[in-house]
């Protein structure tokens, strides 16, 4: 199914998305990856506020390349999400719901997604130049010292994504491959 959706990703909206859906996403997303997640989870552990309001937020796992003069952002494709597995349940418990990345997730992340109605979107890994075209605004909001790993607020328009894991725990990495093999082998 093809969907054009606008953020924030409320619980109600999240529940309408299913693994395998093609999604064109519009709205504000926050960028963070390894070092940023570590800091955010330390902040939460101390009982302090995150640099952005996490409720219904979507986090894009990306460390963009620097913008050339006149550009909003450099190349900006997804990084491997599995490295954020240690932090993702904590982020969801704090209210964040959407994750954009690529690659497999651990069962405990999927369990947290089922609990909090999380959605894991896939962007095409290695398509950083293409994805940069959907990013219309980029603002640095925290952790500037982390360089590419700093926390940024992006405004994206019609960002092409696919739902990999939905809020019921259906996983395109399993179903897509199984379906392909079943059709190919005619069983």
Partner 1 sequence: MREIQAGAVTETVARLCIETNQYLPEDVKGALRDCRACEDWAIAQNVLDQIIENYEIAQERELPVCQDTGIACVFLEVGQEVHIAGGSLREAVDEGVRRGYGEGYLRKSVVRDPLRRVNTGDNTPAMLYTEIVPGDQLRVTVAPKGFGSENMSAIRMLKPSAGLQGVKDFILETVEHAGPNPCPPMVIGVGIGGTFDKAALLAKKALLRPLDSSYPDPFYADLERELLEKINRLGIGPQGFGGRTTALGLNIETMPTHIAGLPCAVNVSCHVTRHKTEVI
Q: Which residues bind partner 1 (CB under 8 A)?
A: 20, 35, 62-68, 74-77, 79-80, 82, 102-104, 122, 124-130, 132-133, 146-148, 160, 162, 172-173, 176-181, 183-184
Q: 56 or 127, CB closer to partner 1?
A: 127
Q: 94 or 164, CB closer to partner 1?
A: 164
- H or E element that contains 55: none
Q: How far is the CB of 59 from partner 1 (least distance, A)?
A: 16
Peptide bond preceding 158: is omega within 30 degrees of 0, i.e. cis?
A: no
Q: How far is the CB of 124 from partner 1 (least distance, A)?
A: 5
CA 166 to chain centre: 12
Question: Among 162, 187, 186, which residue's Cα sits nearest to residue 176?
Answer: 162
Q: 94 or 99, CB closer to partner 1?
A: 99
Question: Among 120, 125, 153, which residue's Cα sits nearest to residue 36?
Answer: 153
Cα separation values, 156 from 20, 25, 121, Å: 21, 7, 14
Q: How far is the CB of 43 from partner 1 (least distance, A)?
A: 18
Q: 56 or 83, CB closer to partner 1?
A: 83
Q: 97 or 102, CB closer to partner 1?
A: 102
Cα separation values, 181 from 19, 73, 166, 184, 185, Å: 18, 39, 22, 5, 6
Q: What are phi and psi of 66, to 5 degrees?
A: -65, 145
Q: How far is the CB of 144 from partner 1 (least distance, A)?
A: 12
3-state secondary structure of 116: helix
Q: How far is the CB of 115 from partner 1 (least distance, A)?
A: 24
């Amino acid at each position: 199914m093809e969907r054009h959706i606008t953020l924030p990703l409320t619980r109600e909206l999240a529940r309408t998305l299913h693994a395998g859906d093609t999604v064109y996403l519009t709205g504000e997303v926050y960028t963070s990856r390894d070092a940023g997640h570590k800091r955010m989870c330390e902040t939460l552990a101390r009982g302090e506020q995150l640099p952005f309001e996490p409720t219904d937020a979507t986090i894009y796992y990306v460390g963009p390349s620097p913008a050339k003069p006149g550009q909003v952002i450099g190349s900006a494709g997804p990084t491997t999400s599995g490295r954020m597995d240690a932090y993702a349940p904590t982020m969801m418990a704090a209210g964040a719901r959407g994750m954009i990345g690529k690659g497999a997730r651990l069962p405990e992340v999927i369990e947290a997604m089922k609990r909090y109605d999380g959605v894991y979107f896939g962007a095409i890994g290695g398509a950083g130049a293409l994805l940069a075209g959907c990013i219309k605004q980029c603002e640095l909001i925290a952790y500037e010292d982390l360089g590419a790993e700093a926390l940024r607020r992006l405004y994206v328009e019609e960002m092409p994504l696919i739902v990999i894991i939905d809020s019921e725990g259906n996983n395109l990495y399993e179903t897509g491959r199984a379906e392909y093999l079943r059709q190919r082998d005619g069983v």
